[in-house]
Amino acid sequence: MKIVLFFYPKTRATRVRWMLEEVGADYTLQTLDVRAGENRLEPYLAVHPHGKVPALTIDGRPMIESGAICGWLADAFPASGLAPALDAPERADYMQWLFYASATLEPALGELFMAKRKGESGEAQAAAIVPMVAFAERALADRPWLTGEAFSAADVILASSFQWLRAMAPEMLPAMLSEYSTRAFARPAARRASAI
Ligand SMILES: N[C@@H](CCC(=O)N[C@@H](CS)C(=O)NCC(=O)O)C(=O)O
């Protein structure tokens, strides 16, 4: 299987690189100069219709959306143990968190990011994130990772989201979630993926 990751550092592409490192996939890193707008040029729009990163090609077939890609990688490389089995009770939690982080938490983080970029206080946007942070805090109160003792692709996504929140508004991240994110990013695969 030939996998190419279209990448730019310090973006959602890092989490996909992290997953590729976790599963031990053989992949090619294709760095796009996002600052120069290379991601918006025609050749890349055939891979990602909106000119965003990340995208993968798998034997030439494009795939987008970092949450979906991380979930797919966990299933495509089952020996990595990064997804509970289809019939495991933890599978429901796993799917919930993959989608919750991508579909609920991240759009709210995006709103806060945009507000701050416009020089606004972001107070209303931050208020919307508070119950989401509390939800994650409850989920992790009695376990090291979202599905229990085993680290999974859902943790890659959630820890990445919290890393982003920590960069934007560190005071919003409770110590326990800050420690969770730090612990996740201390994994060797995450360190390799974060090295520019
Ligand atoms: N929901 C998408 C979001 C992708 C996205 O917004 N990527 C940003 C970087 S984190 C991007 O490509 N920004 C550059 C641009 O829009 O030109 C995913 O998770 O893959």
Question: Which of residues 81, 110, 141 is at a domain's end?
Answer: 81
Residues 7 and 30 in one domain: yes
The verdict on residue 60 lying in a domain is yes
Residues 98 and 172 in one domain: yes
Our answer on whether the CB atom of 34 is closer than 6 Å to any ligand 1 atom is yes
For residue 126, give its domain range.
Answer: 90-191
The verdict on residue 22 lying in a domain is yes
Task: State which amino acid sits at residue 115.
Answer: A
Dihedral over Cα of 20, 21, 23, 27: its sign: positive
Residues 95 and 187 in one domain: yes
Torsion angles phi and psi, residue 94, rounded to 5: -60, -50
CA-nearest of 102, 99, 113 to 172 is 113
pLDDT digits (tens, 9 = 90+) for 89-148: 999 999 999 999 999 999 999 999 999 999 999 999 999 999 999 999 999 999 999 999
Residues 128 and 73 in one domain: no
Give the C-alpha separation, 93 to 139, whole Å: 10
Q: What is the predicted pLDDT for the residue at 195? A: 86
Residues 135 and 164 in one domain: yes
The verdict on residue 19 lying in a domain is yes
CATH number of the domain where residue 64 is located: 3.40.30.10
Say whether the peptide bond before residue 54 is cis (omega within 30 degrees of 0).
Answer: yes
Q: What is the predicted pLDDT for the residue at 196? A: 65
Residues 176 and 99 in one domain: yes
Our answer on whether the CB atom of 38 is closer than 6 Å to any ligand 1 atom is no
pTM for this structure? 0.97
- Interval between CA 173 and ligand 1 midpoint (Å): 23
The whole-number average pLDDT for the span 72-90 is 97
Residues 43 and 95 in one domain: no
Domain count within the chain: 2
Q: Among 7, 12, 16, 100, name the best residue to mutate to test ligand 1's pocket (greatest count of ligand atoms within 8 A of Cβ).
A: 12
Give the C-alpha separation, 118 to 120, whole Å: 6
The whole-number average pLDDT for the span 46-60 is 98
Q: Among 53, 56, 64, 109, name the best residue to mutate to test ligand 1's pocket (greatest count of ligand atoms within 8 A of Cβ).
A: 53
Question: Which of residues 36, 61, 81 is at a domain's end?
Answer: 81
Confidence of residue 6 (pLDDT cuts 50, 70, 90): very high
The verdict on residue 196 lying in a domain is no
**Strand ranges (E), 26-87:** 27-31, 55-58, 61-64
CATH number of the domain where residue 160 is located: 1.20.1050.10
- Interval between CA 64 and ligand 1 midpoint (Å): 10
Q: Map tokens 């806060």 to a residue.
A: 112
Residues 73 and 154 in one domain: no
The whole-number average pLDDT for the span 46-59 is 98
- Interval between CA 53 and ligand 1 midpoint (Å): 5
Residues 15 and 54 in one domain: yes
Residues 9 and 48 in one domain: yes
Our answer on whether the CB atom of 11 is closer than 6 Å to any ligand 1 atom is yes
pLDDT digits (tens, 9 = 90+) for 150-196: 999 999 999 999 999 999 999 999 999 999 999 999 999 999 999 86
**Strand ranges (E), 12-99:** 27-31, 55-58, 61-64
The SS3 of residue 145 is strand
Q: Among 17, 32, 34, 52, name the best residue to mutate to test ligand 1's pocket (greatest count of ligand atoms within 8 A of Cβ).
A: 52
Our answer on whether the CB atom of 14 is closer than 6 Å to any ligand 1 atom is no
Task: State which amino acid sits at residue 102.
Answer: S
Residue 113: count of CB within 10 angstroms of its CB: 18
Residues 11 and 66 in one domain: yes
Q: What is the predicted pLDDT for the residue at 175? A: 97
Dihedral over Cα of 141, 143, 145, 148: its sign: negative
